[in-house]
Chain A
Amino acid sequence: MNQRAASFRSITALIGAVTLAVLCTPLVLAQGQKVLKFIPQADLRIIDPITTTAYITRNHGYMIYDTLFATDAKFQVQPQMVDKVEISKDQLTYTFTLRDGLKFHDGQPVRSADCIASIDRWSKRDALGQKMAEATDSWKAVNDKTFTLTLKRPFPLALEALAKPSSNVPFIMPERIAKTDASTNITEPIGSGPFRFVKEEWVPGSKVVYVKNTDYVPRKEAPSWAAGGKVVKVDRVEWIYIPDSATAAAAINAGEVDWWEQMPPDLIPVLAKNKSIKVENIDPLGSMGLLRFNFMFPPFNNQKMRQAILYAIDQNDYVLGIAGSAKNGHPCYSYFTCGTPLASEIGAEPLKGKRDFEKAKQLIKEAGYKGEKIVIISATDQPIVHAQSLLTTETLRKLGLNVDLQAGDWGTLITRRTSKEAVDKGGWSIFHTWLVGPDVTSPAVNFAVRGSGQKAWFGWPEDAKIEELRDAWFAATDPAGSKKAADAVQMRAFEFVPYVPTAQFILPTAYRTNLSGVIIAPITLMWNVEKK
């Protein structure tokens, strides 16, 4: 018995000692490192910014890649990796010279061949890139630092295309990576941008880690949107994906994270009480909600039915539904992002002012609506989509239309909207989504306004006139001509109604007051941010 008791005491002592030793093991922390902890809007799943248009991948792209040009806050194109550009008098030849000191994260210098291969891959996926490719005769490397673009015909938007701020962004990758097929995901995240991706620490669905690229040579100019000097002021950035917004709010409240990219409006009052947190609108363009019709089947293959909806939709309701308060949004009666040069209210009379249900009902009658079922597909896991769907359902019901709201998750919605079947065979009539401001600034990037039929975005509107007007806009050579051509596109859009703009809104960002230097831009950019 004594022996057993002694053994028991020895074992207990041993366990105690081991436990104490392990408990006292210090955390291996890099001393003095400035770590910026950030909750991104979504989980980074795809690291290739060319195969997907997902905004989270675009933001990741800005961390690790650089661009030849960038658009600044005044909508002006500024050189970024390019030191100088010379344009021939006939506007057919562009000669680009790269800045000194550009290096990829694998230590290799950035060469002309890398830029040409990257632009080639981008232009296979991006609509504006494709348009530029149509006008391109060739890209040629003169030497490692100089290359030329030769056009078949003048393409006034060439530099704007290379400075495109939102998806797909023409990021520059090493040639060997950029040679990857444009629809196959790249697996090597190597760029020449201000941060390096730490692939070994990437836990998809949870954490993405970037470290400062100490070899990066920033431009001297002050940062302005994605242009100017990309000066990194922290050593390490951790993107911590927290899917639950209540947990995210608690984490920033408790100081476990520094910055929450996009917070739901209903949590603004919760965080506003904490004096260590700033809740701000840092996105000057916000996002645009939209209601998309299916043009292949009744009733919205009838123009009068679509026009009827314009008279009934009240954008003020959508602002409140999406953004929770008029402080975070406003009506925008334009097919181009309000606050950008091409925005106007020309032709917008049916959408603004007092809502005219009688006119809408008259148009429905003239359209010969026979009570066909209207299926609105929605996603309950996307509050912006679902809020719009609920409002549209109510509005359409008020008009006496036969509406069936079918809600699922986002994964189901984006699959179902590809269906070209009738509603009784799994098809749809209306879906909602939203686009960030930079994706809707002009006829070049606003793909939803197009009328290219089966090649158009889901809903497949076909309208030769709008396509002609879009081509005329591309041909415009000066700002006045460009504005006039864009107005013509909008006039036609309000007549043809490829979709209904529902609101312009901003999802605020929240960050701890020990952060400074957050760049006001329509994309979340992490250089210039300082943590004290």
Chain B
Amino acid sequence: MIAYIVRRLFSTIIVMAVVAFFVFSLLYLTPGDPAAVIAGDIATDEDIQRIHARLGLDDPFLVQFGRWVWSLAHGDLGTSIFTNLPVTQLIGQRVEPTVSLTLCTLVLAILIAVPLGVVAAAKAGTWLDRAVMSFSVLGFSVPVFVLAYILILTFSVQLDWLPVQGYRNFRDGVWEWLRHLILPSIALGTVYVALITRMTRASMLDVLAQDYIRTAEAKGLAPEQVLIGHALKNAAIPVMTIIGVGVALLISGAIVTETVFALPGIGRLTVDAILRRDYPIIQGVILIFSAVYVLVNLAVDLSYVLFDPRIRY
């Protein structure tokens, strides 16, 4: 097991090195010049060239890349071209809202989707199953931003129950923190709920058709015990896989959600950095996203052991 984890962590480093190279190359080739953005609309050529030189953007590709990798090797993600603040500090400021949003969404999605999937499978072919599946199709079809606006209009503007925008830190009080996350989590989580519901239902249907389930039922076990104690545990592996893969979905969805709800998270930091060509931030954030993605999937792989004792690493 330990050897497996070490191997996977080592491969993570290789993956991130490849990502780093591609990200840097793509940004180098992307049109747009941060010096022009910094100088402002009424700058002259001369102003832009001066800033360009100061930022070292005139240096050849390999020199710039080497400089960046060297800093990275020393744990330094660089400094924002615009704000002059360290990228680690900027990312640090944004971690809490994004992690909070992602966790709330994940918890909400699992709490809703798994029971829905189990019920739909248990009542396959009934009106309940069809209702759950219709909800699932709807969840897939409605774009995050449309749902977000509907939620804002209904629960914030009309009913005045929840805030329109912004984020409160956990240390400001759990209720304030939660209040600011409820609507974003619903907006972001709906598609995730749809995905996990469908996967749970399909996986459960497979398991429910197997012999040992029939044996359990023949032994006189209660339907709930059969469903939860026997079927769900065995159906969990594909569901866990989807949850892991869905993290990428969640990260991309977080960018839209954070923009609509004005949450100061990493998603918005990324979009802002891309729009103004703040290369150090873009590079730093993408590296962190890729590391998170790889590590979450590692955690998912390791979690299989909990569900299926036959799996050994």
Contacts and interface: CB of A to CB of B under 8 A. Distances in A.
B38 A46 contact: yes
Given A185-B84, A455-B44, A205 B269 contact: yes
A250 B44 contact: no
A207 B45 contact: no
A149 B46 CA distance: 28
Contact of A205 (B44, B174, B272): B272
Interface stretch (B130-138, B149-157, B231-239): B149-157
Given A184-B54, A411-B277, A457-B42, A203 B33 contact: no
Contacts of B45: 418, 454-455, 458
Interface in A222-260: 240-244, 246-247, 250-251, 253-254, 256
Interface stretch (B18-26, B114-122, B189-197, B256-264): B256-264
Contacts of A409: 32, 275
Interface stretch (B64-72, B104-112, B165-173, B200-208): B165-173
Given A243-B262, A415-B33, A416-B31, A46 B82 contact: yes
Given A23-B175, A183-B54, A204-B90, A250 B32 contact: no
Nearest to A241: B262
B93 A203 contact: yes
A26 B176 CA distance: 10
A19 interface: yes
B264 A412 contact: no
Contacts of A247: 152, 164-165, 260-262
Contacts of B84: 185, 187
A161 to B, nearest CB: 16
Nearest to A58: B40
Contact of B40 (A52, A184, A187): A52
Contacts of A52: 38-40, 43
Contact of A256 (B82, B94, B163): B163
Contact of A411 (B90, B157, B175, B275): B275
A51 B34 CA distance: 13
Contacts of B32: 409, 411-412, 415
Contacts of A183: 47, 50-51, 54
Interface string B23-63: 00000000111001111111111111011001000000000
B268 A206 contact: yes
Nearest to B45: A418
Given A206-B264, A243-B259, 16 more contacts: A23-B173, A27-B176, A45-B82, A46-B82, A51-B38, A53-B43, A183-B50, A203-B264, A204-B82, A204-B85, A205-B272, A244-B259, A250-B152, A254-B163, A447-B42, A454-B45
Interface of A: 19, 22-23, 25-28, 43, 45-47, 51-54, 57, 125, 167, 183-185, 187, 203-207, 240-244, 246-247, 250-251, 253-254, 256, 381, 408-412, 414-416, 418, 433, 435, 439, 447, 454-458
21 contacts: A27-B168, A27-B176, A43-B272, A45-B82, A46-B38, A46-B82, A52-B39, A167-B42, A187-B84, A203-B94, A205-B272, A240-B166, A243-B272, A247-B165, A247-B261, A408-B31, A411-B32, A414-B33, A447-B44, A457-B42, A457-B44
